[in-house]
Structure 1
Amino acid sequence: MAMKSRSDVRNVAIVAHVDHGKTTLVDKMLWQTGAFSERQTVETTGERVMDSGDLEREKGITILAKNTAISYDGPSADGHPITINIIDTPGHADFGGEVERGLSMVDGVVLLVDASEGPLPQTRFVLRKALAARMPVILCINKVDRPDSRIEAVEEETYELFMDLLEDADADADQLDFPVVYASAKAGIASTLRPADGELPEGSDLEPLFKTILETIPAPQYDDEAPLQAHVTNLDSSNFLGRLALLRVRNGQIKKGQQVVWCRHDGTQQTVKITELLMTQGLERQPAESAGPGDIIAVAGIPEITIGETLADLDNPIPLPLITVDEPAISMTIGTNTSPMAGKVRGSKVTARLVKDRLDRELVGNVSLRVLPTERPDAWEVQGRGELALAILVEQMRREGYELTVGKPQVVTKEVDGKLQEPVEHLTIDTPEEYLGTITQIMAARKARMEQMTNHGTGWVRMEFVVPSRGLIGFRTEFLTETRGTGIANHVFSGYEPWHGTITTRLSGSLVADRSGAVTSYAMVNLQERGVLFVEPTTEVYEGMIVGENSRADDMDVNITKEKKLTNVRASSADNFEKIFPPRKLSLEQSLEFCREDECVEVTPETVRIRKVVLNAGERARTAARARSAAKQ
């Protein structure tokens, strides 16, 4: 075996916790290497060009791992341009499948850590994956110019995290010897010299970061005598070319028009032709004639290819190992819309076949998702990493015109040695000291176990918990309410533990409409002292639809369509000035959090409604009575 390396290519992933500045840093790297034309400005292309999806821009998070390539010919490139392929990965734990897929494409990582917040759960998650893969790591401490930055302390915390993970990830002690770069991605400046807290690094550009990448990240290694092997790591589509498979070429050469062997998941092999070969330059894919080891390419012409499969040599096909991702922890039922208002929106997609086809298409590009059948032919159990990942899928389908009934999120349990086990999360909370007691109380009710508490001495406390995943369903809304929007909570999957017992997450009941009709102001005035309403006057409701939150623990059937009886007696002026409180508008995520076991969410392109699974009040009462008698027996 004659191993060689390509000095003109580097493959690197930018990994970090959510909102630590990955996408901003990649943007600045693109600008400073001339990836944009002279006519393009921040105004014409928009900030955070890597976050191309509408939902990514709205939520300010990266959902899909994306790749770009920059051509670097700076002082340290020995006069020859070097292609640096950069993978921008999500920072949210729910999209961990994207992170794992991104790491399978690269030879090293740049770990970005906020100079104030320090390492957080997702930092631990992505670092463990990188160390387990024996990848070199560059630590980049970002946002050093934040007024509350604590650069030296964060560097120490990250070093401790490395020490902690080395044994856990069965990694190499040499990985502790990592270079540190200090940066302000927003300003586009990096330095290897530590600045004072709150100050910009010395210098005027990201040159020290580029130089560190070239010195630390190894060039792609390949066997000069090995046949073609190219790994499918991602999928995309083109209006002109159809499905595109994104591959990392491991060994050999691949050419446009070449006949190759497609090694499939099920072990079968098929001869296919590469009709088009594309390579990334900046943000654009350009046609290319051939690609070699280490290149990240897109190929067209194989309509059913999926992630983890291999394109191999025609004479000597050797498949690469499949990409494995962590088990899903949360599930929800997604089915067709079964409410009385189904199909009222023109052009909406309401049939079971359309919904199933869309879920099957999502499976093609989302390696961390699973779709399982249920007892009903028009509903499916969808399993994913977390609540947010599943809510994003439902939101995308809603925007595409689908009408759905979505059940309350549940945890995916498993049996180990005859004992029921459930997924648990490692939760980190940063909160002002005054809310310490409240947070402890909330977490105790959700069966959480406190692992550590640190007082930064700035009026803020950091608490670390191990909590059952189901204890975090509906947690975020309550947490933000109790901390007046000041608290920061982040969690990451930690493993499985024995079942923790019953968790009561919502103490209040629901206000349920007892008939169909339009909401009236008169009924709202009389009902708003009973709880918080979710609907406005003139809103169309139906029997079984939840119109508000009851102030008491039990549900209450209400007539929210009641009209004031008209008489020929003139009303006094006092009756004309009844005050209606503004209704609480729930987003899709908040609606899913609000749901109880006997409730679900109706999702249409125009509205999101919460409803009872059983709409008829009499039938609900009989179902509850049967459940109580079964429990007694």
Structure 2
Amino acid sequence: MNIRNIAIIAHVDHGKTTLVDKILHATKVFRENQETGELIMDSNDLERERGITIFSKNAAVTYNDIKINVIDTPGHADFGGEVERVLKMADGVILLVDAFEGPMPQTRFVLQKALQLNLKPIVVINKVDKPNCRPDEVHDAVFELFFNLDATEEQLDFPTYYGSGKNGWFNDSLTEIDNINPLLDGIIKYVPAPKVAEGPLQMQITSLDYSSFLGRIAVGKVSRGSIKENQQVALMQADGTVRKLKVKELYVFEGMGKKKVAEVVAGDLCAVVGVDDFNIGDTIADADNPEALPVISVDEPTMNMLFSVNNSPFFGKDGKFVTSRHLRDRLMKETEKNLALRVTDSEDGDSLVVYGRGILHLGILIETMRREGYELTVGQPQVIVKEIGGKKHEPYETLVVDVPQEFASKVIDLVTRRKGEMLVMETKGEMQHLEFDIPSRGLIGLRTQMLTATTGEAVMAHRFSEYKPWKGAIPGRNNGVLLSKFQDKTTGYSIDKLQDRGTFFVDPGEDVYAGQIIAEHIKPGDLVVNATEGKKLTNHRASGSDDATRIAPKTLLTLEECMEYIQFDECIEVTPNFIRMRKVILDEEERKKVAKQMNAQMA
């Protein structure tokens, strides 16, 4: 068969999307003079802003009369659910590894999934033009990783290519050339053509696309038989129901887009129009003798957050969708395509508990919703605790930190205070490579502290490992917060007088309300302050007293930083234009009452 299906997997920032760019250019998908920019596959606004891939995507190129379906996957651990399902469409994987950093936690995770599916690996050691790179050592480390993951003899005999995606060359040796043809030849040589079983139609839906004209489109790989336009098929769902449907239109991937066809044979990837109300993991089968494929299993979520309607005094001023029904419908729609996400009802009717893979996973969902015009309130992220053998267990993660040697002791101190245990400490060039086993709770808020302690030099990555017994209390935020006393606009006069009390999150002239967090206190404990008082103007002016107030600019926190910053009695108000932190109970007297009751219960 003249088809090769290959997924590109790697740790974040090792150069997957750049490699896809080079493959698209090398196979002449674009005209000679066409302006394409960089990171062509990262088409979503959030992906472009953050420089990360969030959704896996397909492209198809033709090289030496052979069609290569390329699947670009995310590198962040929080989007592991995307990678797990799309690997089902591939017959081989390109494992991309940075020539300096070597295998990282996410490399291990995605490689393990690929080896379990028995996919043929090709190792590409990228960025060999970087200073301090160590391609030979990295190659040995990759081999060791394969061995530790119980790879078969055949998988251990993997071909290796070296090169630089940025400079546009890949070769089977360290000799620099001016193209990536050796790698494309390697894909055709080493990746097997799709294995096609005899029998009637079977196709598993592994991802979905959406078009405002055609509605929901099912995407997957035809694993046996063939699928034709206007054919009657059976949709077999995870709960055992079988529905008869008709295929309206069929598309295969071509370049960056799709091409309409009348029939797709086994082994190729295709998009099917006309199959509504499907879920990822369902099977499209022959109408007369339907057989289902095994349902895709995705790792469980490790974190949850409470999503509820915005109940602040500024409710409804900013967003289009503000009711609990809007919120529920949007979250349920998200679970259809976001496999690692779960949504359940909370005890009170207005809130929903959303389970995800980590802070970034949930943060991207909230950011997407606010851009669509939703207003909501989200609580502090909590880890999911399980009872195993009558004992309380919590999720643990493997944390890897690469940091200049002079900061290593600070990093070790920060992590051990959060109940982390050091497993590995080794020197890589001028950097110290540290590996820890740490409870997932300990990671919340760690990144900000780590970057402050290392002047932004630390490179941090983590990956869920397993559930282990509960480790006890982990210290949270050290400092309290300053809360607004009144609802009004802040004034420069008040903020100037309060600057020695804390670091402000608001500028003069911003609307605030009672109970909103406006600054971080310099001491533990919260303080209610009046930041809305204006200067009393009199007829007498003393010389020098009207000098311009010198106010430090406000500290800007991103959504993820706010999620890591808040404590259990605080929440975040998210609207299309504002992100405000606040107390769950806005009234000061009410908060004191609740605090008294809690203290009495604990005593």
TM-score (norm 2): 0.99
The alignment partner of 2:573 has SS state of strand
- 1:84-118 per-residue CA deviation (whole Å, 9 max, x = no partner) reads 11110000000000010111111111000001111
1:505 Cα deviation (Å)?
2.7
Runs of 4+ in 1 over 6 A off after TM superposition: none
1:204 Cα deviation (Å)?
1.8
- 1:456-480 per-residue CA deviation (whole Å, 9 max, x = no partner) reads 2x33101000111111111111111
From 512, 532, 542, the equivalent of 2:483 is 512
- 1:319-354 per-residue CA deviation (whole Å, 9 max, x = no partner) reads 111100001011111111111001112x52101111
Distance in 1 of aligned mates of 2:94 and 2:485 = 57
- 1:259-292 per-residue CA deviation (whole Å, 9 max, x = no partner) reads 1001012101011000010111010111011001
Partner of 1:256: 229
Partner of 2:362: 390
**Amino acid in structure 2 at the alignment position of 1:16:** A
Distance in 2 of aligned mates of 1:454 and 1:489 = 15
Distance in 1 of aligned mates of 2:433 and 2:589 = 49
From 272, 292, 303, the equivalent of 2:276 is 303
1:429 aligns with 2:423: no
RMSD: 1.1
From 199, 205, 208, the equivalent of 2:182 is 208
182-191 or 572-581, larger mean C-alpha shift:
572-581
The alignment partner of 1:160 has SS state of helix
From 125, 128, 140, the equivalent of 2:124 is 140
1:411 aligns with 2:395: no
1:496 Cα deviation (Å)?
0.6
**Amino acid in structure 2 at the alignment position of 1:369:** L
From 199, 202, 222, the equivalent of 2:196 is 222
From 162, 171, 178, the equivalent of 2:158 is 178
Distance in 1 of aligned mates of 2:119 and 2:487 = 61
207-216 or 358-367, larger mean C-alpha shift:
207-216
1:516 Cα deviation (Å)?
0.8
Partner of 1:55: 46
From 1, 13, 24, the equivalent of 1:19 is 13
From 73, 76, 81, the equivalent of 1:97 is 81
1:129 Cα deviation (Å)?
0.8
1:567 Cα deviation (Å)?
2.6
1:207 Cα deviation (Å)?
1.0
Distance in 2 of aligned mates of 1:114 and 1:505 = 35
Identical aligned pairs, as a percentage? 48
Partner of 1:159: 143
The alignment partner of 1:85 has SS state of strand
1:565 Cα deviation (Å)?
2.3
Distance in 2 of aligned mates of 1:173 and 1:356 = 49
1:39 Cα deviation (Å)?
4.5
From 55, 60, 78, the equivalent of 1:64 is 55
- 1:25-52 per-residue CA deviation (whole Å, 9 max, x = no partner) reads 01110111011134523xxx32111001
- 1:145-178 per-residue CA deviation (whole Å, 9 max, x = no partner) reads 1122111111111111112221xxxx42331111
- For structure 1, which runs of at least 5 residues remain unmatched after alignment? 1-6, 74-80, 196-200
The alignment partner of 2:186 has SS state of helix
**Amino acid in structure 1 at the alignment position of 2:31:** S
Distance in 2 of aligned mates of 1:264 and 1:382 = 24
- 1:186-212 per-residue CA deviation (whole Å, 9 max, x = no partner) reads 12211101x2xxxxx422211111111
Distance in 1 of aligned mates of 2:132 and 2:347 = 54
Distance in 1 of aligned mates of 2:408 and 2:166 = 33
**Amino acid in structure 1 at the alignment position of 2:408:** L
Distance in 1 of aligned mates of 2:23 and 2:132 = 25
For 1:201-600, what aligned pairs fall within 5 Å after superposition? 201-224=175-198, 226-345=199-318, 348-456=320-428, 458-600=429-571
- 1:556-600 per-residue CA deviation (whole Å, 9 max, x = no partner) reads 111111222233321322442331111101111111111011000
**Amino acid in structure 2 at the alignment position of 1:117:** E
1:133 Cα deviation (Å)?
1.6
Distance in 1 of aligned mates of 2:242 and 2:31 = 43
**Amino acid in structure 2 at the alignment position of 1:70:** V
**Amino acid in structure 1 at the alignment position of 2:478:** L
1:552 Cα deviation (Å)?
0.6
- For structure 2, which runs of at least 5 residues remain unmatched after alignment? none
Distance in 2 of aligned mates of 1:46 and 1:202 = 24
Distance in 2 of aligned mates of 1:332 and 1:585 = 23
